[in-house]
Amino acid sequence: MLVNVTIAAEDKRFLEHHGVDWLRTIRSTLGYFGGSSRVQGGSTITQQVIKNLTGNDEVTPERKVQEIFTALKLEKNFSKEQIMETYLNIAFFSNQCYGIQSASKLYFNKDISELNVAEAATLIAITNAPTKYNPLRMNANEDYGWGTGMEENKERRDYILEEMYKLQMLTQSEYQKWLDYDVQLAPRKDVESTSDGLTALTDWHTDQVIEDVVTDLQQEYNYTRAYATKMVYSGGCRIYSTMDPDVQKSLEESYANPATFPDLANAEYPQTAAIVIAPDGSVKGMIGGNEKTSNRLFNRATQSQRHPGSTMKPISAYLNAFERDLITWSTTFIDEPLTLTENGKTFQWPQNYTNTYTKAPMTVQYAVQQSINTVPAQLVNILTPQVCYDTLKNKFQVSTLHELDATSLSSMALGGMTTGMTLEELTGCYQIFVTGGKYVKPYTYTHVTDTEGNIILKKDTTQVRVVSEETATVLNRLLQTVVTQGTGARANMKNETGITTAGKTGSSTGVKYVNGVQVDIDNPDLWFIGFTPYYIGGVWMGYDIQEEISYYTYPTPILWKNLMLPIHQNLEAKDFEYSENVQAMQYCTESGDLATENCPSTATGWYKETYIPSTCILHRGGSTVDTELEDENDENEDSSSSNHSNSSGGSKRPSLNRNDKTNKKDDDDEDSFWNSVSGLFGSKRQ
């Protein structure tokens, strides 16, 4: 056995020196990884190996190496070259590629022994910053320098060659030759799949499963990222993925069809991402970007954190207000901004997306349907942002919250968070509307075993109650109105499939920099998070570098339907399961209270038994009184309309006020209404 090992080592070394001394090439570059300027002596290399294996450069190198190699069931004593070889076998070369041999195959379709100096330097350059120097990265990104991956890589490669020249590893003429050498990557179609399948193009979901397993292995066993990754790729474990191949395939086919993408006014189409989650929280399929050219690319469904905008409202403001019986389906609020004070300055907040306020009473239902901002802002002002923050953090386990969000009205009411949310986590939260209030964080695999079938990792897939079944039912019904008559109408699949559809639109505001100056932009992110009895689906649209999306028709509900319809096409017509403790009742659309037979305009609302509104007092009693009252109110609205030049001309609802009945004070109308509401909640408006 010893003989075999020796032969293998000798044989490898022979290959290493064949043509170009790539081992020397690589040795000369390793010294720069940790900022140490010269390499000789090998301790820097060793330290780099250790750092790469452990993520820690403060432990005694020898001891740590011993530990790791014992864990790997390898032999105990190593030469510098073996350590380096280990390093090169485990180093990350971007694009899901670990190890120099795989990298050589992936980028050049060559054995490492066939690499020339410039090509070897190209590969070694990648390890320094795998995303930045990824030669396959086509998009410029400010985080990784402004060049493409190949352009950035060349800068690093040239630096390596220069260092080699300085170390007299290259002569002047060699140096010049390799500097001028035009490095050509192998055409994608010519790249052979290596025996371990590393270069085969996988789908977005599989990429994410690998990512999740690696992360969980690190957490569970304190493995380094490199070691956990090695475990996954070496075939040492068997992963049970939650992917539904039909769903994933359907998403990919839709993405291959240009008709899937709704027209926009922008010259360059933005990136998009999509995810489909089953009601049990398992992720069935996902798309992390418009194109998938390589493996383990930046995944916009799981890694990108963007402002959720109004998609935050149902899981923050409305969820907490309904759960605490602060509001019903038809509770009315005046559609007007809060007056806030910050740093001694008083200002009005928020804007509605129409940039107008009706300044009239508006039911919660209408505010949800039309994505009005003033109502959830008032609700979170009453609830406090902290209450909403706690729900998101403790119940939904949202991982991207920032402590500043806990005190931010904007963040908790309108989704203007400090960082943002991932599409995966945001869509996962909407699970509660389908499950009657139960939740588990979305998961991409259920368990992982070793080759002998022993379980190494197991996901806890138990759903836990976040809100009552009643609250979930009312919110579900409310979100149905968004697609039956509101901002998400184009997502409705009821006509085609008989399957009940619900959901919420969202858009953000942001900033960009023009010549270093900050400029506000509208709609850098557009969302639709929707659900049916079968699936919860989320789509996002936006540019990697924030830019305004310009559209004629709100695009995300269209994109959502184009992706979800094929997935639902052969499923049976179906409605949601609802709580029996939520009942339909007629309400007066003017007062928001239960309708009397005298109420001129009524609609159906859904009410928890714990909070049923009182009967409408605006229209109670004889019809004569009613008529007089309405006349008076009409006059009120006419006389005051000039003060509300911004309100939408013929406001849909007459500007009725509960106090009109007893005490008519034109100037105080809105304040007195507010006082009656805030009195109800035991909170005062600022």
**What does the binding site for Zn ion look like in residue numbers (CB under 5 A)?**
588, 591, 599, 616, 618-619
- Let me know if 532 is exposed, middle or buried by CB neighbors in 10 A (0-12, 13-18, 19+): buried
488 vs 613 by CB, closer to Zn ion:
613
Q: How far is the CB of 462 from Zn ion (least distance, A)?
A: 46
121 vs 588 by CB, closer to Zn ion:
588
Token pair belonging to 634? 């009409």
Number of Cβ within a 10 Å radius of residue 96: 23
Q: Residue 461: CA atoms inside 13 Å, Cβ hemisphere, count?
A: 15
Cα–Cα distances (Å) from 122 to 75, 97, 116, 133, 150, in that order, read 31, 14, 10, 9, 9
Q: How far is the CB of 599 from Zn ion (least distance, A)?
A: 3
414 vs 588 by CB, closer to Zn ion:
588
Cα–Cα distances (Å) from 686 to 381, 572, 675, 678, in that order, read 9, 51, 11, 11
Q: How far is the CB of 616 from Zn ion (least distance, A)?
A: 3
Closest CA to 401 of 305, 313, 541: 305
Chain centroid to CA 114: how far?
A: 42
490 vs 619 by CB, closer to Zn ion:
619
568 vs 653 by CB, closer to Zn ion:
653
Q: Is 99 left (phi over 0), alpha (psi -120 to 50) or beta?
A: left
548 vs 590 by CB, closer to Zn ion:
590
Q: How far is the CB of 249 from Zn ion (least distance, A)?
A: 53
Q: Residue 285: CA atoms inside 13 Å, Cβ hemisphere, count?
A: 20
88 vs 618 by CB, closer to Zn ion:
618
Q: How far is the CB of 326 from Zn ion (least distance, A)?
A: 22
- Let me know if 536 is exposed, middle or buried by CB neighbors in 10 A (0-12, 13-18, 19+): buried
| Rounded Cα distance, 202 and 470, in Å | 42
494 vs 620 by CB, closer to Zn ion:
620
351 vs 598 by CB, closer to Zn ion:
598
| Rounded Cα distance, 235 and 237, in Å | 5
Instruction: Find tokens 């008032």 and name the residue.
Output: 378
Q: How far is the CB of 587 from Zn ion (least distance, A)?
A: 8
Q: How far is the CB of 434 from Zn ion (least distance, A)?
A: 34
Q: How far is the CB of 597 from Zn ion (least distance, A)?
A: 10
Q: Who's near 557: CB < 8 A, 6+ residues apart?
A: 483, 487, 488, 489, 490, 491, 503, 505, 528, 530
What strands lie across the sheet with 237-241, from one edge to the other? Answer: 237-241, 445-450, 455-458
139 vs 601 by CB, closer to Zn ion:
601
* Residue 539 backbone dihedrals phi, psi, to 5 degrees: -130, 145
Q: How far is the CB of 647 from Zn ion (least distance, A)?
A: 22
Q: How far is the CB of 628 from Zn ion (least distance, A)?
A: 15
Residue closest to Zn ion, measured at CB: 588
Q: How far is the CB of 588 from Zn ion (least distance, A)?
A: 3
151 vs 630 by CB, closer to Zn ion:
630
* Residue 458 backbone dihedrals phi, psi, to 5 degrees: -140, 125
Count how many residues are written for the chain. Answer: 686
